[in-house]
Structure 1
Amino acid sequence: MGLHYFLESIYLLITPVNILVLVLSVLFGLIAGVLPGLTSTMAIALLTGLTYGIGAESAILSLVGVYVGAISGGVQTAILLNIPGTPASAATALDGYKIGQRGEAGLGIFLGNASAFLGTVFGAICVLLLTPLLSTLSLKFGSWEFFLLALFGVLICGSLTSGGDSIKGWISGALGLFVAQIGLDQMNSYPRFSFGNIELMAGLSLVPIMIGLFGFPEIVNSFKQNQLKIPTEVLTLRVKRGLSIIKGKMPTVFRSGFIGVVVGLIPGVGEDVAGWVSYWAAKLRSKNKEEFGNGAYEGVIAAETGINSTIGGHIIPLLTLAIPGSTSSAVLLAAMWLHGLRPGPLMMSENPGFIYTMSMYLVASAFVMLILGLFISRYTVKVLRIDKRILMPVIFVICAVGSFVIDSKISSIYVMFIFGIIGLLMSKMNYPASPFLLGVVLGPMADSNLRRALVLSDGSLEPFFTRPLCLGLVFCILILIMSQFNMFSKLKTVIFKKKDTVEEHR
């Protein structure tokens, strides 16, 4: 029975019309991912209206293609300009930009695209094999777990990006959580920190903040530095070496893919958390921890694999429970309803072949994304040859336009400029911007779930220490915090020395 559905999905996919639709959709998604300001959610939303007049199979294929392309497209600007095309790409930029600056931009982009391909395929396999089993996991998460998960994500990001001073990273994350509270609260619609300003009551858009924090400091700092002379030969894609590196990091690929799928299963937790948790896990297991943050290939591989495998994780609860895991998958769910598909508990009985079809769409989109991503990188990588005095004013205009188009408000450009100044000051004082951005992303989830949890428990904190999943998250948070104290670090060093001594005697 499964083979029949599998062959049927291949037959649908290889028709000339669907192949053309797939190529154009993935290309549109890649462009949306490359340009700061055009998110995967916006790309899917823009395309949904255009798919109204075509068949359901072609429509869903085009939207999946855009989704995959947009999530993976951010790797280009993250490596070349240190400006993440999507918020999740901030994890990739941490090491990817350093790789580009030492003259290996082509290799870095190949590693990013290949890892994105592997992550998407891993997620597709999980959609096919683990949908009935893993979809129940997301139902076990309540408001208490969601709050702790958001807190854990910010703490991890702060520890990884702080350059050894975790306190600065955590302060940056806390500031991001504070900024996320500006506007109407999600429970009672009460204005907070708006000072009577209608624009502030609507809250601050994520994209202008992201562009300001990462783009503005890079533009300003570029004028203070001499133009880097990068040899032409190292700008090419070094496929053989890239494949060799990935082959040696397959445990990282599988680990990050698993993390991305599990994170994707949890509604409301996006690719950002998956990227940072995958990066953290890779650094934790690495024998060369000092390389992370200084251009580690494994950092890019872990982040991109985790980010892209989340797509499959989001689709599992979408198909089986009609619960979107992210804003992008929420738009995808609306598009499915628009075309007469009814995801939910009855999907397996009403349309059992659709899971096979969706898995094939993801795999096909991953292949096209890899080919197109490497093709356009042959041209985008040449941006490093352009004089910064010419390139950066153009980038500034693109940043301003990207901030404006998100909601067509001039105030968004002001927000970008203000957070650009904040980002510049943070870079001067060595405060990382990534935890700040993740705090803004996860702030609404942390705020609403903490308040909801306290309402449900009549103000009691007891569920945080009695629910099994909460206990696991609290334990991870405590270990993460304690690991930054000197006493804990010395104890860990002593333990590892004793372990090495025992092994030597053996």
Structure 2
Amino acid sequence: MSFEQIMFEVLKTLNFEFILLIAAGTLIGLIVGALPGLTTTMGIALLTGITFKFSGHAAIALLMGLYVGGVSGGSLSAIMIGIPGTPANAASVLDGFPLALAGKGEKAITVSRSASILGTLFGIMCLAFFTPILSNLALKFTSAEFCLLGLFGVLISGMMSGTDIALKGWIAGIFGLTIAMIGIDELTAWHRLTFNSPELSGGLPFIPIMIGFFGIPQVVESMSAEQDVLVAALDKSKTKLMEVLRHWKVALRAGLIGVGIGIIPGIGEDVAAWTSYGVAKKVIKHPEEYGKGSIEGLVAAETADNSCIGGAIIPLLSLGIPGSPPAAVLLGAFLIHGVRPGPMLSFEFPAFLYQAVSWLLVATLFMRFMALGLARPMQKILTIKNAILMPIVAVLCAIGAFSLDIRYIDIVLVFFSGIIGILFRKGKYPPAPLVLGIILGPLVDTNFRRALKASGGDFSIFITRPVALVLLISIIVLILGQLGVFTAIKSKFRRTKQTTT
């Protein structure tokens, strides 16, 4: 497709309807992100349930606007009440809230907004540059590579998002892979784990599971943890973008960290923000300033979590593997609306990458003007008691699930998924590997058997291809490393060396 044709397709999806939907999505995202308990992941899952009447591209544009707004919006509550609206903004509390308590609340919000803009733009730039490269590389993959890539994604997600060791993360990932196998096998047409139930023959729908898994536990937790909220006053001081650009080294490093972590499957914006904050604190000359209202600390956290948006969408579009929990739910929305991400996306929808880039840019523009304007109204909204807000959220969870296919079984599924989500939180099992397991289950399962079928049942196909071999070795190293094998070998070698000397 020529440049002129691509631009024509991009401009077609930048009409008044699309711009209005992106603006609405960004506004909803800012509000959802700013309200503690309503995460970006949950917001995308809820809104996906009511977008089935929209055209495919229009619905995706709306949800991308919500993604941008949600990650940025969480900083509003982090700064004004010291409670992050989303996990992605937890690191922003450390310096944002002290600034607000010191009478510099509006300055903190403008710094956060400027850093969010810089981070999002950096992520979008990387998205536009690296996605075609990764897509072209993925075109050379066979079933063996895709199978191992999916398995590697689940394993590394479990390792990075687990608590002390990766075991709980891996258990969550295996549980997700098991859920993905429910239904009719697309290769053999056999019924798997359906228990002779017609409702399970088509598999478990992804969106109701996500609504229940993320929404219901948050409702229960918020209802049981009602607390008085201290809302910091806002001043009239503001910070210009050029003042933030004085910390360009911090912002650039944070942007690179955010994109890098975003590309890793299933990790997410919260890890990016904490990693960036930790690195910035280590290299600064006066680390004691961090946590007491440091502008640099706020820039490091907010630039990283927002640049992670573009980073998380890179593997989503090029490989069909999401880089964060919100991107995982976004993948479900893509599939519902007839867009299948992966290396073939550039052939089926040649202009889609650049359309997505344009939607994200428009959302960033709206976020630029909406974020500060929402600050004062949000002061009042943030004082709403959870006892009033959370029942409304619970009803929206049920409506969002039911409206997708108009099936009562989906409401039941939300309920049972919510119970599983509550048990996960009680047991401190990370949610990201489960989400990634459900998403990547068909990729791993189907491509594993296709690879064996192509090789006549010969497992050597997984070691005779260079990329497959590298992935297999990486998987083995991950497992052995987490089981402590390398630590044991190192200790034994050290003891042997001491004995000989």
Contact 1:72 1:116 in 2 (8 A): no
Segment of structure 1 superposing worse, 438-447 or 21-30: 21-30
C-alpha displacement at 1:399, in angstroms? 1.4
Contact 1:79 1:109 in 2 (8 A): no
Equivalent in the alignment of 1:308: 310
Amino acid aligned to 2:253? P
Contact 1:48 1:63 in 2 (8 A): yes
Q: Distance in 1 between matches of 2:250 and 2:489?
A: 31
Q: Distance in 2 between matches of 1:161 and 1:111?
A: 25
Please report the TM-score for the alignment, with normalisation by the length of structure 2. 0.67
**Identity of aligned pairs, percent?**
30
Contact 2:28 2:69 in 1 (8 A): yes
Q: Distance in 1 between matches of 2:403 and 2:384?
A: 26
- Once the two structures are superposed, residues 239-268 of structure 1 have per-residue CA deviations (whole angstroms, 9 ceiling, x without a partner) of 7798788851422423543675x78xxxxx
Change (3 A) 1:235 1:228: farther
Q: Distance in 1 between matches of 2:77 and 2:191?
A: 37
Contact 1:403 1:412 in 2 (8 A): yes
Amino acid aligned to 1:221? E
Q: Distance in 2 between matches of 1:126 and 1:145?
A: 23
Q: Distance in 2 between matches of 1:398 and 1:236?
A: 36
C-alpha displacement at 1:185, in angstroms? 1.9
> Is 1:156 paired with 2:163?
no
> What are the equivalent positions in structure 2 for 1:253-402 lying under 5 Å apart?
253-257=255-259, 273=266, 275=268, 279=272, 282=275, 286=279, 302=304, 304-311=306-313, 344=347, 362-372=360-370, 375-376=373-374, 379=377, 383-402=381-400
Equivalent in the alignment of 2:250: 248
Equivalent in the alignment of 2:401: 403
Contact 2:258 2:269 in 1 (8 A): no
- Once the two structures are superposed, residues 76-128 of structure 1 have per-residue CA deviations (whole angstroms, 9 ceiling, x without a partner) of 7878999xxxxxxxxx954535756998599799859955763455445653x
Change (3 A) 1:112 1:212: farther
Change (3 A) 1:300 1:435: farther
Contact 2:68 2:363 in 1 (8 A): no
Q: 11, 26, 29: which one pairs with 2:22?
A: 26
Q: Distance in 1 between matches of 2:446 and 2:458?
A: 16
Q: Distance in 1 between matches of 2:491 and 2:484?
A: 10
Change (3 A) 1:93 1:193: farther
- Once the two structures are superposed, residues 409-432 of structure 1 have per-residue CA deviations (whole angstroms, 9 ceiling, x without a partner) of 111111111111122122222222
Please report the TM-score for the alignment, with normalisation by the length of structure 1. 0.67
SS of match in other structure, 2:482: coil
Segment of structure 1 superposing worse, 197-206 or 481-490: 481-490
SS of match in other structure, 1:141: coil
SS of match in other structure, 1:453: helix
Change (3 A) 1:463 1:398: same
C-alpha displacement at 1:203, in angstroms? 1.4
Equivalent in the alignment of 1:68: 64
> What are the equivalent positions in structure 2 for 1:43-54 lying under 5 Å apart?
46-48=53-55
> What are the equivalent positions in structure 2 for 1:174-189 lying under 5 Å apart?
174-189=174-189
Change (3 A) 1:144 1:391: same
SS of match in other structure, 2:405: coil
> Is 1:96 paired with 2:89?
yes
Q: 446, 449, 462: which one pairs with 2:447?
A: 449
Change (3 A) 1:373 1:194: farther
- Once the two structures are superposed, residues 29-66 of structure 1 have per-residue CA deviations (whole angstroms, 9 ceiling, x without a partner) of 336765636578778764428xxxxxxxxxx7x67743
Unaligned segments of structure 2, at least 5 residues: 33-41, 79-84, 283-290, 292-296, 321-329, 494-501
Q: Distance in 2 between matches of 1:198 and 1:236?
A: 61
C-alpha displacement at 1:130, in angstroms? 6.2
- Once the two structures are superposed, residues 179-222 of structure 1 have per-residue CA deviations (whole angstroms, 9 ceiling, x without a partner) of 11111222233221111111111211222222222222222223
Amino acid aligned to 1:229? V
Contact 1:274 1:307 in 2 (8 A): no
Q: Distance in 2 between matches of 1:120 and 1:492?
A: 44
Equivalent in the alignment of 2:199: 199
Q: Distance in 1 between matches of 2:132 and 2:218?
A: 46
Contact 1:152 1:477 in 2 (8 A): yes
- Pairs aligned (count): 437
SS of match in other structure, 2:173: helix
Q: Distance in 2 between matches of 1:274 and 1:404?
A: 29
Amino acid aligned to 1:254? L
Unaligned segments of structure 1, at least 5 residues: 50-59, 83-91, 264-271, 290-294, 319-324, 336-341, 496-506
Amino acid aligned to 1:410? Y
Q: Distance in 1 between matches of 2:124 and 2:137?
A: 16
> Is 1:36 paired with 2:43?
yes
C-alpha displacement at 1:277, in angstroms? 12
Q: Distance in 2 between matches of 1:234 and 1:279?
A: 28
Contact 2:144 2:468 in 1 (8 A): yes
Contact 1:117 1:367 in 2 (8 A): no
Equivalent in the alignment of 1:118: 119
Q: Distance in 2 between matches of 1:473 and 1:67?
A: 32
Q: Distance in 2 between matches of 1:142 and 1:417?
A: 39
Contact 1:154 1:170 in 2 (8 A): yes
Segment of structure 1 superposing worse, 449-458 or 34-43: 34-43
- Once the two structures are superposed, residues 342-398 of structure 1 have per-residue CA deviations (whole angstroms, 9 ceiling, x without a partner) of 974997xxx9xx998876565344323443456556655755422122221111111
SS of match in other structure, 2:430: coil
Contact 2:424 2:431 in 1 (8 A): yes
Equivalent in the alignment of 1:430: 428
